[in-house]
Amino acid sequence: MKLHTTAILLLFWLGIFTVHTVKGNTSGVSMRKFRCVNLSTKQLNIQNLINYERQRVPIDAVMFTTARGIRICVNPDQKWVQTAMKRIDARRAAKHK
């Protein structure tokens, strides 16, 4: 009887440990990353852009984030895109001074 109770308690604690470990691991997983699969041909208002991310796979693109949180993918070879990236970099550098 005593061995039976010990086995049940051991299984119970093993179950608690497993649930706690799995829960801890899943909470550390980062969110799914957005990827560009097609490009916008529209020129965006540079003043509304707050961030960008360069991407090379699956296509070469720059993903801009607007002040409203909208993500828009564009061709990085366009002149206005390069200008917008430089302005965002300059704003970042000014903030960190």
Q: What is the DSSP secondary-structure string of the chain?
A: -HHHHHHHHHHHHHHHHHHHHHHHHHHTSPPPPP--SS-B-SPP-GGGEEEEEEE-SSS-EEEEEETTS-EEEE-TTSHHHHHHHHHHHHHHHHHT-
With 0-12 / 13-18 / 19 or more C-beta atoms within 10 angstroms meaning exposed / middle / buried, residue 81 is buried
Q: What is the pTM of this model?
A: 0.64
Please report the pLDDT score of residue 47 as a whole number: 94
Residues 46-95, CATH architecture: Beta Barrel (2.40)
Please report the pLDDT score of residue 96 as a whole number: 81
CB under 8 Å to 63, separation ≥6 — which residues? 34, 36, 52, 53, 55, 71, 72, 73
Residue stretches of the chain with pLDDT short of 50: 19-30
Please report the pLDDT score of residue 34 as a whole number: 82
Residue ranges covered by each domain of the chain: 1-30, 46-95
